[in-house]
């Protein structure tokens, strides 16, 4: 009763459209759950997400959950996860995406998950790694272990805005390091990030993971820019 009263005074808002949520709704309203722009890919068929990696690295699967468009409700969601402290929203969306992926059998042969790490300094400022909270939700829904101590970011990259993929890759080539190669040797590693733009970050991480002995890599981003 008191909770209902509080909800009237201070309604919880949908993280995507900012409209008040009904008490039965969590994080995202029913309308947004239906209307948010989703990417529905069929395994191993040519598509624009795979095209970001084609010819650049030997990989198995690439997929993303939301279609990222500037000014969209998806951008609003990603902004909340990345800059507004909404780590629990990241877990919620990871579980949602993971449940959908499980049904589609997209990543059935993946043996472990690794999230794109933040530099320790950035991690301290933000308090959490947004890619890792998404990965936690995914790991839970997919029942695949998430390794949080395997990949480290050893240096901060300069801003990548305005750089093309080749220049971005060059900037990122040596920012990651595998610190526990034994853990991923012979594995099929699913690399997870919050947003996929050019794919340069994924590529830089994947090169290190492959070099450390993982036999297969796949990619997943919560949202991807076409
Ligand atoms: Zn909404």
Cα dihedral sign for 14, 20, 25, 30?
A: negative
State phi, psi for 109 to the nearest 5 degrees: -90, 5
Tell me the per-residue pLDDT of 166-223, one tens digit each, with 9 for 90 and over: 888 888 888 999 999 999 999 999 999 999 999 999 999 999 999 999 999 999 999 9
pLDDT of res. 4: 65
CA of residue 89 to ligand 1 center, whole Å: 13
pLDDT of res. 80: 96
Look at domain 37-225 and name its CATH class: alpha beta
CA of residue 29 to ligand 1 center, whole Å: 4
Residue-range domain boundaries for the chain: 1-35, 37-225
13, 25 contact by CB (below 8 A): no
CA distance to 13, 54, 103, 114, 169, per residue, from 99 (Å): 24, 26, 6, 18, 32
CA of residue 162 to ligand 1 center, whole Å: 31
CA of residue 211 to ligand 1 center, whole Å: 43
151, 179 contact by CB (below 8 A): yes
CA of residue 137 to ligand 1 center, whole Å: 21
CA distance to 26, 62, 66, 121, 208, per residue, from 204 (Å): 35, 15, 23, 20, 7
Give the chain's mean pLDDT: 93
Tell me the per-residue pLDDT of 22-31, one tens digit each, with 9 for 90 and over: 989 999 999 9
Cα dihedral sign for 101, 106, 112, 118?
A: negative
Cα–Cα dist 90/88, whole Å: 5
CA of residue 1 to ligand 1 center, whole Å: 24
Query: In terms of DSSP H, where are the helices of 113-197?
Result: 120-126, 130-142, 165-172, 181-184
């Amino acid at each position: 009763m008191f909770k209902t009263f509080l909800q009237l005074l201070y309604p919880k808002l949908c993280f995507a459209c900012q409209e008040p949520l009904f008490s039965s709704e969590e994080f995202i309203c029913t309308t947004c759950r239906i209307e948010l722009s989703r990417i529905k890919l069929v395994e191993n068929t040519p598509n624009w997400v795979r095209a970001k990696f084609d010819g650049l690295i030997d990989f198995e699967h690439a997929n993303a959950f939301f279609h990222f468009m500037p000014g969209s409700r998806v951008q609003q969601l990603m902004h909340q996860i990345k800059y507004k402290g909404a780590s629990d929203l990241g877990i919620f969306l990871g579980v949602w995406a993971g449940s959908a992926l499980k049904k589609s059998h997209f990543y059935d042969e993946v043996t472990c998950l690794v999230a794109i790490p933040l530099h320790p300094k950035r991690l301290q400022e933000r308090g959490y790694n947004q890619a890792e909270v998404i990965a936690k939700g995914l790991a839970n829904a997919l029942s695949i272990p998430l390794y949080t101590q395997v990949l480290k970011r050893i240096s901060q990259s300069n801003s990548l805005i305005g750089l093309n993929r080749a220049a971005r890759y060059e900037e990122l080539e040596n920012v990651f390091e595998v610190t526990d190669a034994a853990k991923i040797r012979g594995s099929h590693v699913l690399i997870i990030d919050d947003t996929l733009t050019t794919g340069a970050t994924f590529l830089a991480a994947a090169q290190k993971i492959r070099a450390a002995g993982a036999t297969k890599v796949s990619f997943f981003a919560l949202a991807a820019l076409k």
